[in-house]
Structure formats: C-alpha cells, structure tokens
Chain A
C-alpha cells in the first residue's frame, strides 16, 4: 500500500475569509472547535463529507483545502 500524508490549508483559508474562528468554522460544518483544531494540526483526518463541507464554506475546490503527498518508498527511484 502506498503511504502518504495529508496536509491542509485551513488556517490560511480561515485567515483570508475574514479571520474566521475555529469555533465558527466548526459550527458551520457541524463539528466542535477541538475537531477543527485537530484537523488543522493534521492530527485527525476528517470524513469525506466534512472535507467537502469545509471546502464549501470557503467556496473553493476540495483540492485547494487538502493535499495528499505520497511518501517515497525506501530504495525507490524517483519518476522522471
């Protein structure tokens, strides 16, 4: 199985959307402030539905909020 890590731009998107608070974003997508903090810190991966809701709140495509990067396997050659 390919391994990878998920990163996100929620902090930046909150900033450009009028310094939206974590609590406000959480309220709009139906999760707690602590869950938004965990998602932002990359410690919790939200469900696909919650991810789409977050993107919808910021009015951007999902790919602009979340990124997945594959980890290079040991000994594998980079693809040219």
Chain B
C-alpha cells in the first residue's frame, strides 16, 4: 500500500472516531435552550479536535517510521493527479455547504445549529477528500 494511501486511511479513521461521535452527540441533543456561548458543546468540540490532532500526529509518526523511504519521496504525477481530483471534489462540496450554511440557514436557524452545520460540512468535505484519495489509490493499484 502506498504511503499516501495509508495517510488517507489514517485521516478517514481519525475523522470517524472523533467527529463521528461528536455529530452523533450534538445531533441527538435537543437544540432548544442552547444559546451562545454553549460551553459544554464547545468543550466537546475542543476534546474531539485535540483527539483528532493526536491520532493524526501519532499515526503520521508511526507510518513514517514504518516507511521512511516512501515518506521522503516527493509527489509524482499520479499522486498529484489523485490529490487534484480529491481536492476539487472536496472544494465544490465545501462551497455548496457554505452557501447553504451562510445564505440559507440564517433565515431559519441560529447559534450552534449554524456552527454545527458549518462544522459538519467541513467534516464531510474532509471525508470526501480522503475518501477520493483512498478510492483512487485502490483503483490504480
């Protein structure tokens, strides 16, 4: 497996185990009476963000140690093509999400609902980005 595919898997797992539970918790909770600032939710978000950074950081170090030569290799044309495809997909999804969050949601939502919707779209765009990376490497191997 290519080093960059492993990084893609690592990022997908990090997203799933941190922002997966975060959105499950905030989605299950009733939004009523949760004005700004909602310190409980802010704390939960901070914990998930730190956990994600730790998983990615430690994972990167371990993967680099396991494939030091591959990790040092610069991106080649196939890597660049995959990166371009994945970033383009994620970009358009993020733009669409931000239009909905910034232009539509303020008319019928407020506070943490908008913040969580924006975070959700960022998480979805990141997941699509790394998902396209992983699928592209799988198809071309």
Interfacial residues of chain A within 22-50, with CB under 8 A of chain B in the complex: 26, 30-32, 34-35, 37-38, 41, 43-44, 46-47, 50
A32→B140 contact, CB < 8 A: no
Number of residues of chain A lying within 8 A (CB) of chain B: 14
A38→B140 contact, CB < 8 A: yes
B76→A31 contact, CB < 8 A: yes
A32→B141 contact, CB < 8 A: no
Contacts of B137 in A (CB 8 A): 34
The smallest beta-carbon distance between A24 and chain B, in angstroms, is 13
Beta-carbon nearest neighbor of A37 in chain B: B141
Contacts of A50 in B (CB 8 A): 77
B78→A44 contact, CB < 8 A: yes
Interface size class on chain B is 10 to 19
A43→B141 contact, CB < 8 A: yes
Prevailing SS type, chain A contact patch: loop
Cα–Cα, bound, A32→B69 (Å) = 10
**Cβ proximity bits A51-77 to B, threshold 8 Å, 1 near / 0 not:** 000000000000000000000000000
The smallest beta-carbon distance between A5 and chain B, in angstroms, is 15
With contacts A43-B139, A43-B141, A44-B140 known, is A34 near B77, CB below 8 A? no
Beta-carbon nearest neighbor of A29 in chain B: B76
Cα–Cα, bound, A50→B2 (Å) = 19
B79→A32 contact, CB < 8 A: yes
The smallest beta-carbon distance between A23 and chain B, in angstroms, is 9
Contacts of A41 in B (CB 8 A): 141
Residues of B within 8 A of A (CB): 2, 70, 73, 76-79, 137, 139-141
Which 7 A-B residue pairs are closest in the complex by CB-CB distance?
A: A31-B76, A38-B140, A35-B78, A34-B2, A43-B140, A44-B140, A32-B76
